[in-house]
Structure 1
Amino acid sequence: MHVPDGFINAPVSVGAGVVAAGAVAVSLRGARRELDERTAPLAGLVAAFIFAVQMLNFPVAAGTSGHLLGGALAAILVGPYTGVLCISVVLLMQGILFADGGLTALGVNITVMGVVTVVVAYALFRGLVKVLPRVRRAIAVASFVAALLSVPVAAAVFTAIYAVGGTTDVPVGKVLTAMVGVHALIGIGEAVITMLTVGAVVAVRPDLVHGARGLTAPLKLRVGGELVDAPAAARPAPVAARSTRAVWATGLAGALVLAGFVSFYASASPDGLEKVAADKGIDKNIEEHAAKDSPLADYGVKDIADARLSGGLAGVIGVGVTVVAGTGIFWSLRRRRTPDAEPTRVPEAV
């Protein structure tokens, strides 16, 4: 759903830029409460992983594809404030280096793909985990629903922005119907990816999932057919003592494989916004991207003729740049962690 230059007029683009800048400023302050020395590198990894998965367009209908937006995934894994920053870093890298998403539309893209998806998804997620049983499956279910609904809501918000500042005269009702319809289908893919990713991390390291915090339970032992609190000696070591290197290395390797190899097999069909824009005529005033001459424009390395090598190398570079930039930002925002933090335990159903 990367909005290009020319879809939205200058005054509304500036207004969206102000909203996005305000959201980023608030998120910079809020992220200081979410990040510590353990989670800051992981937040950089989340940004790089989202960059990689966004390269994997999947078919959703005849001649249409979709890709992960990532707001729900980022918010659940690293927190809503850090989630906004993750998506903002990804969009900035895509716009400057890969000519994906207009630079004058950066504020629109951050507002729609970053702020809206994160706020909607995290609010739904927190509401669901409060009413669902306190088991790991509840986190997966809540992740699925939150991601599923965040995508069409973002599409509706884009339509509202278009209604105010669109540069073409197309009935808003037609745009809304088409945008929400196709992005409801894309939301299914978003939900599956988010659920599987969150579920995988929760299965091995629930203490690293921001959305799982607070879902704690004392360790229980079954004695004589009854559950009793475990003695202190049987409790696990504090999470501060557990290394995150294995998770970080595995996640980075996965992102590199996805961007460097699997992306070659992604759907070449236009994504939801591109398809609607072409069908409804809202792309009549589209402008050339300011970074169209970038050596990485369109996710390929300039002067490398082999499409597989060019795209794969561009993907690897993108993951590398994003993880470095994201980790640098999040590391600077981290707070010092006390060594006696208690572990997060997400109980299984008994």
Structure 2
Amino acid sequence: MVTAMHMSDGLVNAPTSLLFGAVAIVGLAFCLFRARADLDDRTAPMAGLVTAFVFAVQMINFPILPGASGHLLGGALVAILVGPYVGAVCIAIVLLVQALLFADGGLTALGTNVTNMALIGVFTGYGIALLLRGLARRGRGGLVATAFVAAFVNTVVASLGFVLEYAVGGSGGAALGTVFGLMVGLHALIGIGEGVITAATVGAVAAVRPDLVYLLRGSAPALVRKEAAA
């Protein structure tokens, strides 16, 4: 059974693990610094909730092909709900707990997994969401569509992080072209499931408390106007 996206020990050599471990540390340090400005009475409780939600849902694998399964990455989800800096920290916490307590992803691969899912995935998802924010502000349908597209793209781009790391120092014995085709192909399928879960979750939050959606801050979208009028 092939599962994605967690990397296990031994897929890349020690220098590559150390390199991307350093990338993860520097990236998370910057996110922690910037996250202080985003944490408030709304964001802090939501951050705890989305961390717990992503942790729980990542433990559930859904089938995508015979012999292959995937799970939620959560990058676009956390970025849309709590912002990219807080969101990256949330995903990193999930990955750390999973590696330490459940051996889901190797400890030597923690830096690569954080780089792929907490940094590349979160910031790609938020970048796509920002590009589509005009659509998201039109109403819940636009927000749901934005969440789906952002989640799909963040899943595929995060898989390219794996390919890059394998190109730098892969030790699995497979050809780079094979790794590229397998990772991108599988994660394009996983991205559909990721998009559905993200869209449904963001839509559910927006239906009850659109003011808690980070992506909608600083504007008066139709969702927030409707909530205020009610």
Structure 1 spans left out of the alignment, 5+ residues: 219-343
* Counterpart in the other structure of 2:216: 212
Q: What corresponds to 1:77 in structure 2?
A: 81
Does residue 1:199 correspond to 2:78, yes or no?
Answer: no
Q: Are the aligned partners of 1:70 and 1:87 in contact in 2 as well (CA < 8 Å)? A: yes
Other structure's SS at 1:65 match? strand
Q: Measure how far apart 1:136 and its partner are.
A: 2.2
Write out per-residue CA displacement over residues 280-328 of structure 1, whole angstroms, 9 at most, x where no aligned residue: xxxxxxxxxxxxxxxxxxxxxxxxxxxxxxxxxxxxxxxxxxxxxxxxx
Q: TM-score, normalised by structure 1?
A: 0.61
Instruction: Report the RMSD for the aligned CA atoms in angstroms.
Output: 1.7
Read off the aligned partner of 2:97 and give its amino acid letter: M
Query: Whole-Å Cα distance in 1 between the matches of residues 97 and 180 of structure 2?
Result: 29
Output aligned runs, 1:272-283, within 5 Å. none
Q: Counterparts of 2:159 and 2:14 in 1: how far apart (Å)?
A: 20
The answer for the alignment partner of 2:59 in structure 1 is 55
1:28 to 6, 18, 32: 32
1:8: Cα distance to partner?
A: 0.9
Contact 2:76 2:151 in 1 (8 A): yes
**Contact 2:139/2:221 (8 A) holds in 1:** no
Q: More helix by proportion, 1 or 2?
A: 2
Quick check: 1:77–1:198 contact (8 Å CA) kept in 2? yes
Letter in 1 for 2:134: K
Q: How many residues align?
A: 223
Task: Find the aligned partners of 1:136 and 1:215 in 2 and give their Cα distance.
Answer: 14
Alignment correspondent of 1:126: 130
Q: Residues of 2 paired with 1:78 and 1:40: CA distance?
A: 8
Does structure 1 conserve the Cα–Cα contact (< 8 Å) formed by 2:84 and 2:126? yes
Counterparts of residues 139-218 of structure 1 (less than 5 Å)? 139-216=143-220
Aligned match of 1:114 = 118
Q: What is the TM-score of this pair, normalised by structure 2?
A: 0.92
Question: For residues 222-272 of structure 1, what are the alpha-carbon distances to aligned partners after superposition, in whole Å with 9 as ceiling and x for unaligned?
Answer: xxxxxxxxxxxxxxxxxxxxxxxxxxxxxxxxxxxxxxxxxxxxxxxxxxx
CA–CA distance in 2 between the matches of 1:217 and 1:187? 27
Alignment check: 8 A CA contact 2:98 2:104 kept = yes
- What's the offset of the Cα at 1:347? 5.0
Give 1:309-320 correspondences, 5 Å limit. Answer: none
Q: Residue in 1 aligned with 2:224?
A: 345
SS at match of 1:100: coil
SS in 1 for 2:121: helix
SS in 2 for 1:60: strand
1-structure distance, mates of 2:14, 2:224: 49
What is the correspondence of 1:206-285 to structure 2 with a 5 Å cutoff?
A: 206-216=210-220
Name the CA distance, whole Å, in 1 between partners of 2:174 and 2:184.
16
Q: How does 1:288-327 map to 2 (within 5 A)?
A: none
Q: Any runs of at least 4 consecutive aligned residues in structure 1 with deviations exceeding 3 A, and if so which? A: none
Q: How far has the Cα of 1:47 moved from its partner?
A: 0.5
Separation in 1 of the partners of 2:221 and 2:139? Answer: 10
Structure 1 match to 2:19? 15
1:66-121 alpha-carbon deviations (Å, 9 max, x no partner): 10001111111111000100000000000111111111111000000111111111
Alpha-carbon shift at residue 126 of structure 1 (Å): 0.7
Where does 1:87-106 land on structure 2 (aligned, <5 Å)? 87-106=91-110
- What's the secondary structure of 1:345's corresponding residue? helix
- Counterpart residue type for residue 154 of structure 1: A
Using a 3 Å threshold, how does the CA distance of structure 1 residues 217 and 155 change in structure 2: closer, same or farther? closer
> In the alignment, residue 39 of structure 1 is paired with which amino acid?
T
- Percent identity for Structure 1 against Structure 2: 54
Q: CA deviation at 1:157?
A: 1.5
Cα separation, 1, equivalents of 2:221 and 2:172: 55
8 Å Cα contact 2:136/2:144 also seen in 1: no
CA gap 1:346/1:75 in 2 versus in 1, 3 angstroms: farther
How far off is 1:167 after superposition? Answer: 1.0
